[in-house]
Every structure is written in C-alpha cells, then in structure tokens.
C-alpha cells in the first residue's frame, strides 16, 4: 500500500471544465453509475472517511471533483450517471461536462470504471469502455460491493464479466473490491502506482 494516497486533499469542484485546476501533471478519473460506490472507493483508497462525499441518494456527484494526491498528481471524481432523480436537462448537462473532460483533458492518464458487482456492464459502462478503447486510454474496472455476495458468487461474476470483456479490442484490468472489507485495495493501488509512475 502506497502511503502517498493517504495525503490526498480536496482541491475544488468544477461545474464545467473551464473551472477545473490547471491541466498539468497526471490525473486518474473515477467513473461509474450513480450508487456504484465511487466515493466509497476513493475514500478507502485514501484512508479518509469523508474525502469524497457519500450519499444514500444516487446522483449526488454532479460536478467534476478534483483531489490532489501529490504535486502534479490528482484523482477526479466524475459525475455519477444513471437513475438519479434529476431533470433530463440536468442529466444532459452532466453528459456534456463529462464528454468535454474525457475528450479535452490532457492530464488524464487512466480511467477507473466502478461497477456494482451485482449490476455490472450497464449501457453506460459499455459507453465508457468504448470511449477508452477509441482513445487508447488505460482502463481498470473495479467490481465494488463484493461483500454483498458470497465469495463464490462474486468470483463467478468476475469471471463472467471477464468473458464478456474478451470482445474488447484493447488491454484492460479487472478486479473485485469491497470498501467495507478493504478487499482489493492493494490490487488497485498497484494499478494507480503504475499509471502515476510511482515507485515503491
């Protein structure tokens, strides 16, 4: 486990890319459907209980939220997508903001796609996978809430998702994760270290 992640601090929330911090260094973005466990994953990886806001109401992350890991290295919590009870116009605004970030952010060096292990590979997930494939951006998929299933069922889901992703024409990585049980933390830290070019 790399302790550098524990130093993470919130920088700012941006309603549009033009309000984001300077486009320098390296950024890893966390994407996922509303209520998939993005904020919990970020908090677990940084060992901070409330760095990223957690809500029982899906869709609370409506802005681009930036967190500094170290000088010139950041996490970005992207707006959750899915069944949030918000007007269609607001959802469209989220989509435009995310597309602007994903297409135009030079610092972006990888995407962590967070999926609830009980509901993997939604339409949005496939859109993100396709975008990463087209842009040749590294992608790591995290199947969260693994503690909600017994070990055998979680492992079977992992293997099923792995088989479905064999059709994808670029390398990606995949793992089980539980914020509650701290399962898979070292695995994702290894990926983040590689993308951020951190060495032990």
Structure pTM? 0.92
Choose among 139, 149, 144: nearest CA to 194: 139
- If one counts every other C-beta atom within 10 angstroms of the C-beta of residue 6, the result is 13
Closest CA to 176 of 195, 164, 160, 192: 160
Asked if pLDDT for residue 58 goes beyond 90, the answer is: no
User: Is residue 37 within 8 Å of 118, Cβ to Cβ?
Assistant: no
Closest residue by Cα to residue 61 from 72, 44, 75, 74: 75
Phi, psi of 86 (to 5 degrees): -130, 160
HSE at residue 10, side-chain half, CA atoms within 13 A, is: 14
* Average confidence (pLDDT) over 138-160: 97
Give 81's strand partners.
33
The strands making up 173-176's β-sheet, listed across from edge to edge, are 9-14, 64-70, 73-77, 26-32, 108-116, 139-144, 173-176
Would the pLDDT of 178 be above 90?
yes
3-state helix vs strand vs coil in the chain, percent to 5:
40, 25, 35
Whole-number pLDDT of residue 153: 97
The fraction of the chain above a pLDDT of 90, given in percent, is: 64
Mean pLDDT of the region 122-144: 92
* Degrees, nearest 5: CA angle 192-193-194: 90
Q: What pLDDT, on a 0 to 100 scale, did the predictor assign at position 186?
A: 95
**Pick from 19, 17, 9, 15: which is nearest to 42 by CA?**
9
CATH topology classification for 3-196: Rossmann fold (3.40.50)
């Amino acid at each position: 486990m790399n302790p550098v992640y524990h130093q993470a601090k919130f920088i700012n929330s941006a309603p549009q890319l033009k309000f984001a911090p300077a486009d320098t260094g390296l950024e890893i973005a966390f994407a996922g459907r509303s209520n998939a466990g993005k904020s919990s994953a970020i908090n677990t990886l940084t060992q901070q209980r409330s760095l990223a806001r957690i809500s029982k109401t899906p869709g609370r992350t409506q802005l681009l939220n930036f967190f500094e890991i170290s000088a010139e290295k950041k996490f970005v919590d992207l707006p959750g997508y899915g069944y949030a009870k918000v007007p269609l116009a607001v959802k469209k605004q989220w989509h435009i903001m995310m597309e602007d970030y994903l297409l135009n952010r030079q610092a972006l060096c990888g995407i962590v796609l967070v999926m609830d292990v009980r509901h993997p590979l939604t339409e949005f997930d496939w859109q993100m996978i396709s975008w990463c494939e087209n842009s040749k951006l590294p992608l790591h998929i995290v199947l969260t809430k693994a503690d909600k299933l017994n070990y055998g069922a979680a492992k079977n889901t992992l293997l099923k998702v792995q088989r479905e992703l064999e059709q994808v024409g670029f390398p990606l990585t995949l793992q089980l994760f539980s914020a509650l049980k701290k399962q898979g933390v070292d695995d994702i830290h290894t990926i983040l270290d590689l993308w951020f070019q951190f060495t032990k």
